[in-house]
């Protein structure tokens, strides 16, 4: 693979992670438990959508085929999306969304930090901007995990169930495919094998502070990076892409 | 079941270095850390600040409106305490 092709593929999958999680969080707008949390959630989802725009625009430039950010977001079918299965999981209750955020963001933060040091200056610059936002997101979601885990008996039991349920989507984050390997080897990109122990340490520390139990080794779901998604994903895309599909080229 | 409200916190924002913190409003939060987060997400979304203070509203000691006259009126007729007899150079900002 040429280095621009690697960059395009890598930027696309990071854009997909950001857009899909951003869209999931947008679904929660007007449904937060408190007014202040409502604002925080909306801010964070817009941070993610902003990151997706930067990644897609850059992917389009590297690809050189004239695709815009909108083409990436609204005109690709399900199997062309390369996001992790974790971020497309439904919001569930507040504990589910919190656990999803903690598991993903603590990985994403380490990935972005590594990406700021990669040889592709365009990706490094995007990572530099995104890393500040995500550092704050991790702080926010981790504090919530501690509050819920170390809260009442009810909140403890429910958030433990969320953690047990979503844990099977974490293996995929550390299973490199061809694009991850090439990004790491030819462009000094993130090394997933090096990130894994750090992620485990960080997550174990938050989970312990939340008085929760870290789930044991188990079967791990995967397929997101190959475009094989869970059954929830089609519904998310259908809602997100509806307008561009129904009225091609619509602008506002 | 009645809904239990989170305690109220007052939020103070320093808009840029060199200025003092100013009261921006208030937020509800379950604990101090959440109050700081909520203040950040509610009041600094459009880059209004470089520093935030939060304090629980019930920890603020306020003057009693009934005592306004005893507290503030004695100062009203002492114009010699006002620095109005000086020329302030245009270069001095934020005084």
The ipTM, to two decimals, is 0.77
Q: Sheet containing B8-14: which strands, arranged edge to edge?
A: B22-28, B8-14, B51-56
Q: How confident is the model at residue B2 (pLDDT cuts 50, 70, 90)?
A: low
Please check the confidence at residue A139 and state whether its pLDDT lies above 80. yes
**CB pair distance less than 8 Å for B37 and A43:** no
What confidence score (pLDDT) does residue A90 get?
97
Using CA coordinates, name the residue in chain A closest to B9. A36
Nearest-neighbour CA in chain B from A143: distance (Å): 8
- On the question of pLDDT at A34 being above 90, the answer is no
User: Is the pLDDT confidence value at A1 over 80?
Assistant: no
Range scoring the smallest mean pLDDT among A33-42, A48-57, B70-79: B70-79
Q: Do B42 and A37 touch (CB under 8 A)?
A: no
Is A43–B30 a contact, with Cβ atoms under 8 angstroms apart?
no
CB within 8 Å: A43 and B41: yes
Q: Which helix (H) or strand (E) holds A113?
A: helix A94-115
Percent of chain B with pLDDT over 90: 54
The pLDDT score that the predictor gives to residue A91 is 97
Asked if residue B1 has pLDDT above 60, the reply is: no
Mean of the pLDDT values across residues A53-71? 97
Taking residues B1-13, report their average pLDDT: 85
CB contact under 8 Å between A143 and B37, yes or no, is yes
Token representation of residue A139: 């702080």
Nearest CA in chain A to B27: A36
How far apart, in Å, are the Cα atoms of A105 and each of A17, B35, B83? Answer: 11, 22, 55
Determine the Cα–Cα distance for residues A182 and A3; give it in Å rounded to an integer. Answer: 9
B 48-87 residues with CB < 8 A to A: none
For chain B, the average pLDDT equals 88
Residue B16 has pLDDT above 70, yes or no: yes
Instruction: Give me the residue from B29, B31, B41 closest to A39, CB to CB.
Output: B41
**Å between B38 CA and nearest CA of chain A:** 6
Domains, chain A, ordered by start:
3-214+226-246 (1.20.1260.10)
Nearest CA distance, B6 vs chain A (angstrom): 10
Measure in Å the smallest separation between the Cα of A40 and chain B Cα atoms. Answer: 5
- Asked if B32 reaches chain A (Cβ–Cβ under 8 Å), the answer is no
Closest-CA residue of B relative to A136 is B37
Helix A192-209 crosses helix A94-115 at what angle (to 10 degrees)? 140
What average pLDDT does range B27-40 have in this prediction?
94
Considering only the C-alpha atoms of chain B, give the largest distance between any 2 of them, rounded to a whole number of Å: 63
Res A42: pLDDT: 95
The percent of residues in chain A predicted with pLDDT above 70, rounded, is 100
**Which domains are delineated in chain B?**
8-81 (3.10.20.520)
Q: Does residue B29 belong to the interface with chain A, where contact is any CB pair within 8 Å?
A: yes
Q: How many CB pairs under 8 A join A and B?
A: 28
For residue range B42-51, list pLDDT tens digits in order.
Answer: 999 888 899 9
pTM of the model: 0.90
Higher pLDDT, A32 or A183: A183
Residues from chain A contacting residue B36 (CB–CB below 8 Å):
none
B27 touches chain A (CB under 8 A): yes
Interface mutation vs chain A, best among B34, B36, B44, most A CBs within 10 Å:
B34
Q: How confident is the model at residue A166 (pLDDT cuts 50, 70, 90)?
A: very high
pLDDT at res. B92: 82
């Amino acid at each position: 693979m040429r280095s621009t092709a690697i960059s395009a593929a890598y930027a696309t999958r990071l854009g997909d992670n950001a857009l899909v999680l951003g869209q999931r969080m947008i679904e929660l707008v007007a449904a937060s438990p408190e007014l202040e949390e409502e604002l925080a959630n909306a801010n964070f989802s817009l941070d993610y959508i902003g990151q997706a725009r930067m990644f897609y625009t850059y992917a389009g430039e590297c690809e050189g085929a004239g695709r815009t950010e909108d083409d990436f977001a609204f005109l690709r079918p399900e199997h062309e999306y390369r996001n992790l299965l974790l971020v497309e999981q439904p919001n569930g209750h507040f504990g589910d969304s919190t656990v999803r955020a903690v598991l993903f963001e603590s990985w994403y933060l380490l990935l972005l930090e590594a990406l700021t040091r990669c040889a592709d200056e365009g990706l490094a610059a995007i990572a530099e901007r995104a890393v500040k936002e995500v550092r704050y997101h991790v702080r926010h979601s981790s504090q919530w995990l501690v509050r819920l885990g170390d809260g009442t008996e009810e909140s403890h039991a429910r958030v433990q169930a969320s953690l047990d349920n979503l844990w099977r989507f974490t293996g995929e984050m550390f299973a490199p495919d061809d694009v991850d390997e090439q990004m790491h080897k030819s462009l000094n990109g993130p090394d997933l094998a090096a990130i894994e122990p750090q992620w485990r340490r960080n997550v174990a520390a938050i989970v312990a502070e939340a008085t929760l139990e870290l789930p044991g080794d188990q079967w791990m779901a995967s397929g997101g990076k190959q475009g094989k998604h869970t059954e929830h994903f089609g519904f998310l895309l259908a809602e997100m892409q509806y307008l561009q599909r129904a009225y091609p080229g619509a602008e506002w | 079941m009645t809904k239990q409200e989170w305690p109220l916190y007052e939020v103070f924002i320093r808009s840029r270095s060199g200025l003092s913190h100013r009261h921006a409003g208030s937020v509800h939060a379950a604990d101090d850390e959440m109050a700081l987060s909520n203040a950040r997400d509610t009041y600094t979304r459009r880059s209004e600040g470089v520093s935030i203070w939060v304090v629980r509203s019930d920890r603020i000691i306020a003057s009693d409106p009934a005592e306004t006259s005893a507290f503030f009126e004695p100062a009203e007729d002492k114009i010699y305490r006002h620095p109005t007899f000086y020329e302030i150079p245009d270069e001095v900002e934020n005084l």
